[in-house]
Amino acid sequence: MGKNKLKKFAEMETFPNVFQCSAHSFTPNDPHGEADRSTEGRLEMVNEMCGHWREKFFHNDHPIVLELGCGRGEYTVGLAEKYPEKNFIGVDIKGARMWAGAKQAVEAGLTNAAFLRTNIEFITRFFAPNEVDEIWITFCDPQMKKATKRLTSTYFMQRYHQIVKPNGIIHLKTDSPFLYTYTMEMLRLNPYPVLAHTDDLYACEQYPDAQCLKTHYEKQWLDRGMKIKYIAWQLSPMPHFEEPTIEIEKDSYRSYGRNYQAL
């Protein structure tokens, strides 16, 4: 690991707005992380926040919004600045990237922005039922090879239902035609109320919250002439989950930060 990353990790330990669990804190044979004694203190601290984020960190009763796969935390910080009446938490496992947003929030004195470093599949360990009001998924890897890794799959939707309040809203911004098509099919099958959808976000003016912020990678994709896709949907009671099985054409380009080339 490079010295720069080690420096960032060390600095994040001093940030009051960062809650960390290492990438290996949870394993199939050790789901609660007891085997890694170096993380026990962090795990205990983060687990104590479950159900108490408002009172123990934010010290208010405002709505909680998550940014899943937050990367540099640009949406977490940007929305926190734009909406001081809401609380925002960026979630990702990549600590070196998260450092940028966490540091920016500290330097800006934002008291309504926090960061949780963990695997998103374990999200239900850190938030209580109905504790979350809204979720943003911004430019996640489309995971074209394995459906259960897609952040809009029924695998993850089941987890969102456990922490998001009834009728809570989920937003997806993506450059991936594959993920956009897959998500629309998932919403059709299950079905969820779709509040907004477009395969060319910046060609319309109906969705200001999705247009007001551009991430680092989003700007690069736009510079390449690519269209940004956006979907917003509402959680509703689900009797069962049906995973899409249709054939979807894979993305034919390499996106920034992804380590494969679709065929």
| Residues with a known catalytic role | 141
Q: Could you tell me which of 128, 129, 131, 91 has the C-alpha nearest to residue 113?
A: 91
Neighbours of 35 (CB within 10 A): 12
**Location of structure tokens 């969705």:** 207
Beta bridge partners of 65: 88, 134
CA angle centred on 179, ends 181 and 96, rounded to 5°: 165
Residues 150, 184 contacting (CB under 8 angstroms): no
Report the DSSP pairing between strands 229-234 and 194-198: antiparallel
Residues in the chain: 263
- Burial class of 139 by CB neighbour count within 10 A (0 to 12, 13 to 18, 19+): buried
State how far the Cα of 148 lies from the Cα of 128, in Å rounded to an integer: 22
Tokens, residue 147: 């459906």
Residues 91, 49 contacting (CB under 8 angstroms): no
User: How would you write 72-124 as a 3-class SS string?
Assistant: CCHHHHHHHHHCCCCEEEEEECCHHHHHHHHHHHHHHCCCCEEEEECCHHHHH
